[in-house]
């Protein structure tokens, strides 16, 4: 049975469906319910919590909103469990940044603050593993240096893997937002830059960027964390001057749904 405690005057008492959703959520977080498993049938949950079918279905809707389950109806239907979806974090952070009228320059200020610390951490924790994972990406980028759009995508993946190597979930979740803004902004900035640069100039610029990434990986492989951190701080400062000073814009402008 679901019992409601006396929370005193002025305090919102949660509905039975909210309490049930919270209990199921705790089971998912504790891995008592694993990804891909089905929640118990509605009848079993009704008996466990002493509530009606509409209450159970409302609890399912709450969990669906949080993307913790997917519900299908029918004889073979049920509620399939999912692990917490990080895209919700990114979506809400981008929405708030757009509401605050933050700019791409603000994102690069954040990059200068935390990315150098990330590469320092990787140099300390994963100096042997990093080249195995990251060098193939750089080799691929060098092989396609005439295609700046493709290289940009590869280098975005490069640093995404770098974040994974830092082995810190909070950094990984934060970077999802940064990555989405940078990816969209670079596509716009590069498209505009192509109008003023020759293919040879663009290839030369790409070569400079790739050399910087290669130097970073060398410093990490040699466990030279302080130098890797200083190098990457200079790199981000250079990128900001190259891609942001002439092409700064509101974050909301990168997302048509916010305009």
In degrees and rounded to multiples of 5, residue 204 shows phi and psi of: -65, -45
Rounded to two decimals, the pTM is 0.79
In the block, tokens 């964390």 appear at: 225
Residues 205 and 248 in one domain: yes
Q: Count structural domains, the chain.
A: 2
How confident is the prediction along the chain (259 residues), in pLDDT tens digits per residue?
A: 554 444 455 556 679 999 999 999 999 999 999 999 999 999 999 999 999 999 999 999 999 999 999 988 766 778 999 999 888 889 999 999 999 999 999 999 999 999 999 999 999 999 999 999 999 999 999 999 999 889 989 999 999 999 999 999 999 998 999 999 999 998 888 888 778 888 888 888 889 999 999 999 999 999 999 999 999 999 999 999 888 888 899 999 998 887 6
Residues 55 and 25 in one domain: yes
Burial of 196 (0-12, 13-18, 19+ CB in 10 A): exposed
In the block, tokens 């691929």 appear at: 140
Residues 40 and 131 in one domain: no
Residues 148 and 38 in one domain: no
Domain that holds residue 160: 87-258
The pair of structure tokens assigned to 241 is 């001057």
């Amino acid at each position: 049975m679901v019992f409601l405690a006396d929370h005193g005057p002025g305090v919102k008492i949660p509905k039975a469906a909210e309490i049930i959703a919270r209990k199921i959520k705790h089971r998912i977080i504790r891995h008592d319910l694993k990804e891909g498993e089905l929640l118990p049938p509605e009848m079993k949950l009704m008996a466990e919590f002493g509530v009606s079918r509409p209450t159970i279905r409302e609890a399912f809707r709450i969990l669906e909103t949080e993307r913790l389950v997917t519900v299908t109806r029918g004889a073979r239907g049920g509620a399939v469990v999912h692990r917490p979806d990080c895209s919700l974090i990114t979506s809400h952070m981008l929405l708030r940044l757009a509401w605050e009228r933050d700019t791409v320059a603000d994102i690069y200020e954040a990059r200068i603050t935390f990315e150098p610390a990330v590469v320092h951490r990787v140099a300390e924790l994963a100096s042997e593993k990093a080249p195995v994972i990251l060098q193939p990406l750089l080799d691929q980028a060098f092989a396609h240096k005439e295609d700046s759009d493709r290289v940009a995508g590869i280098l975005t993946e490069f640093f995404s893997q770098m974040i994974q190597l830092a082995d810190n979930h909070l950094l990984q979740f934060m970077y999802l937002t940064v990555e989405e803004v940078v990816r969209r902004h670079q596509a716009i900035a590069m498209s505009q830059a192509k109008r003023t640069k020759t293919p040879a100039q663009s290839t030369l610029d790409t070569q400079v960027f790739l050399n910087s990434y290669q130097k970073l990986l060398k410093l990490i492989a040699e466990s030279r964390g302080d130098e890797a951190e200083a190098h990457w701080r200079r790199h981000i400062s250079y990128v900001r001057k190259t891609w942001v000073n002439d092409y700064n814009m509101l974050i909301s402008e990168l997302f048509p749904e916010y305009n």
